């Protein structure tokens, strides 16, 4: 089973690229974030035509939005609210083989890494605290789980182009990476990409639009993740970042991340 996650940054603008991605990578399940698309405007027909008739979408006008797109049927679709907000940052489904899949768009957190003066950063930390608590207390029947999405945190030293320069920058501050470590320990989650590509090899999934040439400076961050619960670790058969998609015309600032499970 191939799972792909992509922060698409507008699913309607980039629908042709989503179709291209489905054709090139042939995922069983594609999780999208930042769809920026209300549910009644989600492009169901084009995705059905591309061979993906099973779709769950949770979006709003202009901001946020997540979707799960699959070849095979799923059930038990749930959209949870976090930090008391109904802002389209989560969807979960139950796949046919019994795996429960959670797709997240964690708040970016703004520019100042201080929850006292920056409400967005406070929101991000609370969101992470709720994730850890939720997974500690919600695991029906010891089910296998997948947690994926844009978590907006680069957890490890070699997940950023410069650890030293990023330590005070939102996405790589110790308060965030420690919070994310707490989420990871809630169920002993396995970071599938780091399982396949251990540190110190550098892996990124996001490069700013602002760089003159993102390939030359290669100042990236690994913000997009695919985690599995420990019993699934032995089934991880591959994982990579589809960097080519970051080079497509008018593409997202994120690249898709891929995990294969035997």
Partner DNA sequence: ATGGTCGGTGTCCGA
Helix ranges, 146-218 (H): 163-166, 174-187, 192-196, 214-217
Based on CB atoms, which residue is closest to DNA, 20 or 120?
120
Nearer to DNA, 26 or 63 (CB): 63
Residue among 36 and 172 whose Cβ is closer to DNA = 36
CA distance linking residue 63 with residue 60, whole number of Å: 6
Smallest distance, DNA to C-beta of residue 12, A: 5
When asked if residue 117 is in the footprint of DNA (CB under 7 A), the reply is no
Piece in contact with DNA (CB under 7 A), picked from 45-53, 55-63, 195-203, 232-240: 55-63
What values do phi and psi take at 151, rounded to 5? -90, -5
Q: What is the C-alpha separation between 23 and 31, in angstroms, rounded?
A: 15
Residue 234: strand, helix, or coil: helix
The number of beta carbons lying within 10 Å of the beta carbon of residue 111 is 10
User: In the set 4, 5, 6, 9, which binds DNA (CB under 7 A)?
Assistant: 9
Provide, rounded to whole angstroms, the least separation between the CB of residue 54 and DNA. Answer: 24
Nearer to DNA, 10 or 186 (CB): 10
Burial class (CB in 10 A: 0-12, 13-18, 19+), 2: middle
Considering only the stretches 18-26, 61-69, 72-80, 180-188, report the one whose residues sit in contact with DNA under the rule CB under 7 A: 61-69
- Cis amide bond preceding 137, omega within 30: no
Q: Which is nearer to DNA, 134 or 248 (CB)?
A: 248
Nearest to 171 by CA among 118, 119, 126, 223: 223
* Residue 2: strand pairing partners: 260
Interface region with DNA, contact rule CB under 7 A, candidates 23-31, 46-54, 102-110, 137-145: 102-110
- Asked if residue 10 binds DNA (CB under 7 A), the reply is yes
| Contact of 133 with 82, CB cutoff 8 Å | no
Q: Does 115 bind DNA (CB under 7 A)?
A: no
> Does 136 participate in binding DNA (rule CB under 7 A)?
no
Contact yes or no for 62/41 (Cβ under 8 A): no
Which of 25, 79, 83, 110 forms a contact with DNA (CB under 7 A)?
110
With binding defined as CB under 7 A, does residue 65 bind DNA? no
The one among 23, 61, 114, 230 contacting DNA by CB under 7 A? 61
Mark 210-249 with x for binding to DNA (rule: CB under 7 A) and - for no binding: x---------------------------------------
246: which residues sit within 8 A by CB, 6+ positions away?
Answer: 207, 214, 252, 253, 254, 255
Instruction: State the residues that interact with DNA by CB under 7 A.
Output: 9-10, 12-13, 34, 36, 60-63, 107-108, 110, 120, 208-210, 250
């Amino acid at each position: 089973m191939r799972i792909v996650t992509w922060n698409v940054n507008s699913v309607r603008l980039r629908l042709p690229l989503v179709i291209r991605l489905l054709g090139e990578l042939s995922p069983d399940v594609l999780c999208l974030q930042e769809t920026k698309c209300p549910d009644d405007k989600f492009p169901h027909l084009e995705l059905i035509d591309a061979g993906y008739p099973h779709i769950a979408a949770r979006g709003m006008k202009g901001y946020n939005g997540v979707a799960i797109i699959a070849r095979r049927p799923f059930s038990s679709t749930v959209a949870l609210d976090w930090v008391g907000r109904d802002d389209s940052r989560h969807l979960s489904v139950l796949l046919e083989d019994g795996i429960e899949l959670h797709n997240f768009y964690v708040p970016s957190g703004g520019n100042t890494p201080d929850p006292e003066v920056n409400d967005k950063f406070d929101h991000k930390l609370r969101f992470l605290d709720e994730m850890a608590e939720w997974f500690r207390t919600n695991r029906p029947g010891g089910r296998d789980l997948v947690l994926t999405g844009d978590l907006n945190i680069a957890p490890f030293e070699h997940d950023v182009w410069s650890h030293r320069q990023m330590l005070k920058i939102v996405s790589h501050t110790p308060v965030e990476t420690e919070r994310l470590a707490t989420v990871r320990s809630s169920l002993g989650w396995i970071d599938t990409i780091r399982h396949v590509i251990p540190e110190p090899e550098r892996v990124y999934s996001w490069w700013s639009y602002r760089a003159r040439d993102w390939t030359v400076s290669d100042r990236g961050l690994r913000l997009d993740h695919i985690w599995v619960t420990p019993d699934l670790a032995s089934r991880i058969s591959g994982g990579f970042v589809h960097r080519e998609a970051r080079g497509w015309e008018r593409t997202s600032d994120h690249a898709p991340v891929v995990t294969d499970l035997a």
